[in-house]
Amino acid sequence: MTDTGEDMRSYARPQTLDEAIGLLAQGQHRILAGGTDLYPSAGMQLDGDVLDLTAIPALSGVTHGAGLRIGACTTWTAIAEADLPPALRCLQQAARQVGGRQVQNAGTIGGNLCNASPAADGVPPLLALDAVVELSGPGGTRQVPLTHFLTGPRQTLRATDEVLTAVILPDAALYGQSSFEKLGARAYLVISIAMVAARIQVTNGQITKAAIAVGACSGVAQRLPAAEAALTGAPVAEAAARVRAADVATALSPIDDVRASASYRIVAATELVRRAVTGALA
Amino acid sequence: MQISLDINGSLRDVYLDPRTTLLDALRSHLGLTGTKKGCDHGQCGACTVLLDGRRVNACLTLACMAQGAKVTTIEGLGSSDALSPLQAQFLNHDGFQCGFCTPGQICSATAMLEELAAGWPSHASTDLEGPFPLSHAEIAERMSGNLCRCAAYSNIVDAIQNAAKDGDAK
Amino acid sequence: MSLGKSLPHDAAPLHVTGQARYVDDIPLPATALHLAFGLSTIAHGEVTALDLSAVRAAPGVVAVYGPEDFDPVPDCSPSAHDEPMISTGEVLYLGMPLFLVAADSHLAARKAARLAKVSYTEKPALLTVDDALAANSRFEDGPVIWAKGDAARAIATAPHVVEGQFELGGQEHFYLEGQVAACLPLEGGDLLVHASTQHPTEIQHKVAHALHLPMSAVRVEVRRMGGGFGGKESQGNALAIACAVVAARTGRPAKMRYDRDDDMMITGKRHDLRLLYRAGFDDRGQLTGVAFTHLFRCGWAQDLSLPVADRAMLHADNCYHLPHIRIESHRLKTHTQSATAFRGFGGPQGMVGIERVMDHVAHALGRDPLEVRRANFYAPAEPVASAGGASPPGPPEDISEQAIGAGPVPPSPDETVDLTSRGAVEGQPERGVAPASPGAQTTPFFMPVEDFIGHELVARLVETSDYAARRAAIADWNAASPILKRGIALTPVKFGISFTLTHLNQAGALVHVYQDGSIHLNHGGTEMGQGLFQKVAQVAAGVFGVDPYAIKITATDTAKVPNTSATAASSGSDLNGMAARAACLTLRDRMAAFIAGKHQVKADAVRFEGGRVRVAGESYGFDQVAAWAYLARVSLSSTGFYATPKLQWDRKAGKGRPFLYFAYGAAVTEVVIDTLTGENRILRADLLHDTGNSLNPALDIGQIEGAYVQGAGWLTTEELVWDGKGRLTTHAPSTYKLPACSDRPDVFNVALWGRPNREDSVGRSKAVGEPPFMLGISAFYALSDAVAACGPGYPALDAPATPERVLAAVQRVQAHV
């Protein structure tokens, strides 16, 4: 019943960011920012020292300043419950669809990004919100657009001695309205076959800006520049009709996997884009 | 490492590998086997416990991370002599068949009723401002993190609805 | 009278407080070892080198066992002795155990098991039905063929013909409590096994066989399972055997629990198959002839595949009289997990086939599928006087003397044959064909259908569900709704009750009355959530006239009741209820004779009711009479036994009466589909199900609801996917989609038929475990109906009807010109 005979590793739960960065500089750590993604994938291979970031007050919460700053250890529940502008509705909708409530209470936005699953629920809304991530390490702090940060399935630009400290949404991205759509074989608690976030700005009945991102259809979630261009300038009433499968497909390289075939994903994603756009305009 | 956990109102000291999950700590080190291991992947909800009143999957939580929080397990919600309102309603409405998911369902529903009392919206709420009538759809969404393979869902929903009514009546 | 009451599960207070103990909750001594298997990473080939040195050196490891450590490697099969506990060199599926690790913690064993260095010579793997057919890889020499009439001629001369084929997926049990067993070594080499199993006697037999012990040296105890669904009929053998082997060799207790992904990778699932059909019919849709071919993918070992595939053939008719039918059943051997028992045991697969024919015929004729179904129903049952009312638990009768007819002398026992396994079909004596009731229509296997209540039952459901009006309203709604389409379907169920291996239809019970009047009940059935213990306790309480809570229900224990059959085939209450009743009647008769003697009246004048014993105008407490009986040296312990009457079955010929009776039901499901994404959901389900005189309506309704959701899940969201190398890629709940709370229909009406069983079953009840699973088939055909609203073509849906498949079907019917 006991785990005797195993080498005991250390567990650190620093209260400050400096302390955390100092520990990272001393050697390899598995970073815990809620643990909901890490533990299932690492499972019993959770070897090595563990660095738990969830006790650092500065990493939690949403603050307004130049843009909007979401601490990396802000839980999905906290995001869903926060009072945020309508442009962030897609992010709040996604927050309520990350697993069950148990997972939303523990899982964090930073953990979701660093884990870099192709089907991470948080990514499409953040792409549609032009998110920038803030990384802190021994050499200081740097900001990287989310589109660059995610380099591939389970791969990011985070250096091993860096901590993702915050997600920053620039002022310009806080306008308009947004919507999130997720498709799965079951209404809740699924890793998605396809999901879409759309943020739309409208002036005088015409779309002036469209930001659309699709997840689970490619190794990394993608913005859809062609679809966005087709929507820009469109009258609101014509928006859904402007969404074409070809514009969706060009940006994606959908994967055939256990959850769905590539051709189905394109069809489904196109329809979800229409619905997300319509939802954002509602 | 030596850690100290506040479980069901009493402080328990336990020595374990820091990578031990709260679930394994409860079941293998503290003799609290009411919390069940269903999938170990945070997907089935059988291991749901409350941390400071909020529901989490004990299989996704390291025991170390629970230090400083109040941990409540099914054993802490009530006993055969003094059932909690939800426990009583699960019994009255046959809210289970094989019973393996039941402790997790009851812990999860306990937190859910607290969430409702606090007025938090859910994905299924049509109106993000509330108030939230406790419809079957609302319960289904809020309880989506707890699977029941016997599919005793009708009775589970009935039990929760009735417990909520009892709570309102008080 | 405790029968027919909606009492909660006996263990309800334990379940809601977390005190109900499952195998993994049983405290073991600190010396206990924890076991894990190391698994193959290829589907087919030879192990050329198995280097376990790193495994042995891993922290916490106490012992590691490879094939060379056994002579021979213990067999885990419930049938053909083709399942070595670990591979003997040949790898037959991806996930096959190769070696066994014993360590001082579960985690240590699991981690160590990943450290082996295994070299293989890989061979081409047969993964699909087509692969297996091409290689003629199968169990049994060739397909099993049953025929009645002349199907080919009837189809050839029919006014209309439909034909087609479709794929029907498997299903993961996903019992929430995974497979687990523990073994404690006792003195003198005896063993006590705690197992999460539906079949304690099978575990006892296999453990004894593995260790060359008599069965009497092995005791198996099962208090409860956290779900079984058929997945714990044979699939727990390997864990119990591994624990027993390690306990015997080390002298330390041993426990083995599969983690969820190991469980899904190692154990068998429901059989998937390809189903081909060809049917001839007239203008009304009445079938004149039908031919089915079942191509079952059975996996690497025989397990229970033969009786499963048999039962699919036995349900190829469902509720329909088919005078000319031919069924050809292939049991294909593939390099995948060994498919096994799952609620319905092949019956659902067979039934989906004939319902597909009904759906297709109706589409071809442009008629309501319900009309076509009704046109083909069996003739209604003739009223039977004896079936008029409930059978009260008295007057005393000696059920144990109801021996089954003098059959042929069975073959002499062979200790290697699993006499109590459903897989032991080869050990089955052939029996003569039961004489047909004159005039009664017969099934494709020549069993008279004497109890068909489908006409009345469906008529009631059509009315209570408002089927006709809703069907019309849906057509209107669809006409105005270009993107969302609704569909509705009513499908009936007729499910045969009894083990098709006739000798398994027996059960025993052991009942004690203590001197203080408390009652201890034990029987051979196991509890997995179905409420069996509560039902049997209600039967016992009824006999003694005491409160059901006065009955102490105890763990199933091979030392108390021997030679039990699996708690399977929905037979738990039928068999064990009758056996317990027999034991209770024996005891009650003794007590009645004793107290009657004191009062110098006849024993049948004694009444047991309300916890009292009434005789000659006096009323005594049950406890008082028990104490007096003890003092008067009356034995207060009795066994009881039951053997199902009337059964005769020849599986090779496909002729006889394999079932005592049929359980019936019908369901109406309404769905909506999104024609642009294929997403779909169930809007409403109305179920009407026949449980005879229900022993416990609340438990029965729970079974029916749960079975429906599970059945609908099988045909809609639950998809198993293997990659081209034979690796199961849906081996976690994140990718394998069980019905969640939100998948329960928004409107869910469930009712019991409420009329007694014609046969003399316990309390005139009917078995309920499996039959309502097939009510879920209505969800599948409601989806077909919704897809059919999108265009002129026939939907030809494959199962499970995932959004992707629904969308493909929508595009198919739209493309049809």
* CATH annotation of B2-75: 3.10.20.30
Q: Where residue A4 falls among pLDDT bands split at 50, 70, 90?
A: very low
Would you call C284 helix, strand, or coil by DSSP?
coil
pLDDT for B130:
47
Cα of C805 to nearest chain A Cα, Å: 9
pLDDT for C405:
43
| Cα C649 to Cα C454: distance, rounded to the nearest angstrom | 25
Handedness of CA C387, C392, C395, C397 (dihedral sign): positive
The encoded tokens of residue C722 equal 């293997």
Same domain? For A143 and A182 the reply is no
Contact B21, A46 (CB under 8 A): no
Handedness of CA C18, C21, C24, C30 (dihedral sign): positive
Q: Where residue C429 falls among pLDDT bands split at 50, 70, 90?
A: low
Cα of C704 to nearest chain B Cα, Å: 10
Q: Tell me which of B8, B21, B28, B39 to substitute to probe the interface with C (most C C-beta atoms closer than 10 Å).
A: B39
Spatial strand order of the sheet with C90-91 comes to C90-91, C45-51, C117-122
pLDDT for B117:
85
| Cα B86 to Cα B80: distance, rounded to the nearest angstrom | 13
pLDDT for C400:
40
Do the Cβ atoms of C12 and B74 come within 8 Å? no
What is the residue whose two structure tokens read 């062609």?
Answer: A226
pLDDT tens column, B114-166: 998 887 666 565 554 445 568 888 999 899 999 999 999 999 999 999 999 87
Q: Where residue C396 falls among pLDDT bands split at 50, 70, 90?
A: very low
Q: Maximum CA pair distance of chain C?
A: 88
Which one of A141, A172, A203 terminates a domain?
A172
**pLDDT top residue among B168 and C781:** C781
Contacting residues of C for B136, CB less than 8 Å apart: 746
Do the Cβ atoms of A189 and B43 come within 8 Å? yes
DSSP state of C656: E
pLDDT for A126:
97
* Secondary structure (H, E, C), A198-210: EEEEEECCEEEEE
Contacting residues of C for B37, CB less than 8 Å apart: 24
pLDDT at A230 over 80: yes
Same domain? For A111 and A161 the reply is yes
Active-site residue identified among C172, C233, C355, C770: C770
Residue of chain C whose alpha carbon sits nearest to that of B124: C742
Indicate which CATH number applies to the domain containing A140.
3.30.465.10
Do the Cβ atoms of A102 and B144 come within 8 Å? no
Q: Is the pTM of this model over 0.90?
A: yes
pLDDT for A34:
83
Region C372-399 average pLDDT: 65
How close are the terminal C-alpha atoms of chain B, in Å? 45
Neighbours of chain B (3+ CB pairs under 8 A): A, C
Nearest CB to A11 within list B18, B121, B142: B18
Dihedrals phi, psi of C586, to nearest 5 degrees: -60, -45
Cα of C570 to nearest chain B Cα, Å: 15
Same domain? For A166 and A140 the reply is yes
Residue of chain C whose alpha carbon sits nearest to that of A267: C677
Q: How far is CA C97 from the centre of its chain?
A: 26
Cα of A216 to nearest chain B Cα, Å: 19
pLDDT at C166 over 50: yes
Q: Which domain holds residue A94?
A: 61-172
pLDDT at C386 over 60: no
Q: Report yes or no: B109 at the C interface, CB cutoff 8 Å.
A: no
Contact C538, C580 (CB under 8 A): no
- For residue C171, the cross-strand partners are C270
Do the Cβ atoms of B91 and C16 come within 8 Å? yes
Do the Cβ atoms of B99 and C703 come within 8 Å? no
Which amino acid makes up residue A144? V
What is the number of structural domains in chain A?
3
Closest CA to B164 of B135, B137, B144: B135
Which amino acid makes up residue A9? R
| Cα A35 to Cα A103: distance, rounded to the nearest angstrom | 9
Do the Cβ atoms of B149 and C227 come within 8 Å? yes
Same domain? For A208 and A242 the reply is yes
Question: Beta strand C680-689 with C747-752: parallel, antiparallel or unpaired?
Answer: parallel
Do the Cβ atoms of B65 and A77 come within 8 Å? no
| Cα C262 to Cα C709: distance, rounded to the nearest angstrom | 25
- The full set of domain ranges for chain B reads 2-75, 85-165
Nearest CB to B42 within list A3, A40, A93: A40
* Cis bond upstream, residue C395 (ω within 30): yes
In this structure, the number of other CB atoms found within 10 A of the CB of residue C83 comes to 24
Q: Report yes or no: C746 at the A interface, CB cutoff 8 Å.
A: no
Which one of A172, A191, A209 terminates a domain?
A172
Contacting residues of B for C748, CB less than 8 Å apart: 154
* Cis bond upstream, residue C84 (ω within 30): no
Q: DSSP for C580-608?
A: HHHHHHHHHHHHHHHHHHHHTS-GGG-EE
Do the Cβ atoms of C807 and A264 come within 8 Å? yes
pLDDT at C44 over 70: yes
Region C508-515 average pLDDT: 98
Closest CA to A94 of A112, A114, A68: A112
For residue B6, the surrounding DSSP H or E stretch is: strand B2-7
Dihedrals phi, psi of A52, to nearest 5 degrees: -100, 115
Same domain? For A199 and A217 the reply is yes
In this structure, the number of other CB atoms found within 10 A of the CB of residue C527 comes to 26
ipTM given for this complex:
0.94
pLDDT for A2:
39
Contacting residues of A for B19, CB less than 8 Å apart: 9, 11, 46-47, 50
pLDDT for C383:
75
| Cα A15 to Cα A57: distance, rounded to the nearest angstrom | 7
Closest CA to B159 of C683, C700, C741, C175: C741
Same domain? For A274 and A220 the reply is yes
Q: Report yes or no: C22 at the B interface, CB cutoff 8 Å.
A: yes
Q: Percent of chain A at pLDDT above 90?
A: 66
Cα of C313 to nearest chain A Cα, Å: 31
Exposure pattern of A134-160 as b/e (b: 16+ CB <10 Å)? Answer: bbbbeeeeeebebbebbeeeeebebee
User: How many CA atoms lie less than 13 Å away from B44 in the CB half-sphere?
Assistant: 28
pLDDT tens column, C82-124: 999 999 999 999 999 999 999 999 999 999 999 999 999 999 9
pLDDT for C757:
97
The encoded tokens of residue C395 equal 């007057």
Q: Which residues contact C582 (CB under 8 A, 6 or more apart)?
A: C398, C399, C400, C509, C640, C641, C642
Q: Report yes or no: B143 at the C interface, CB cutoff 8 Å.
A: yes
Q: Where residue A198 falls among pLDDT bands split at 50, 70, 90?
A: very high
Q: How far is CA C745 from the centre of its chain?
A: 24
pLDDT for A191:
61
pLDDT tens column, C264-277: 999 999 999 999 99
pLDDT at A219 over 90: no
| Cα C261 to Cα C179: distance, rounded to the nearest angstrom | 11
Region A74-102 average pLDDT: 94
Do the Cβ atoms of C177 and B79 come within 8 Å? no
Helices C697-715 and C777-788: crossing angle in degrees, nearest 10, is 40
Nearest CB to C729 within list A258, A260, A272: A258
Nearest CB to C105 within list A3, A184, A191: A3
Cα of A233 to nearest chain B Cα, Å: 31
Do the Cβ atoms of B150 and C12 come within 8 Å? no
Region C467-472 average pLDDT: 98
Indicate which CATH number applies to the domain containing A274.
3.30.390.50
Active site residue C202: no
CATH superfamily to which B85-165 belongs: [2Fe-2S]-binding domain (1.10.150.120)
Nearest CB to B44 within list C27, C228, C733: C733
Contacting residues of C for A40, CB less than 8 Å apart: 732, 734
* Cis bond upstream, residue A57 (ω within 30): no
Do the Cβ atoms of A1 and B28 come within 8 Å? yes
Which one of A172, A195, A221 terminates a domain?
A172
Cα of A170 to nearest chain B Cα, Å: 25
Contacting residues of B for C732, CB less than 8 Å apart: 39, 41, 43
Region C572-576 average pLDDT: 95
Which amino acid makes up residue A145? P
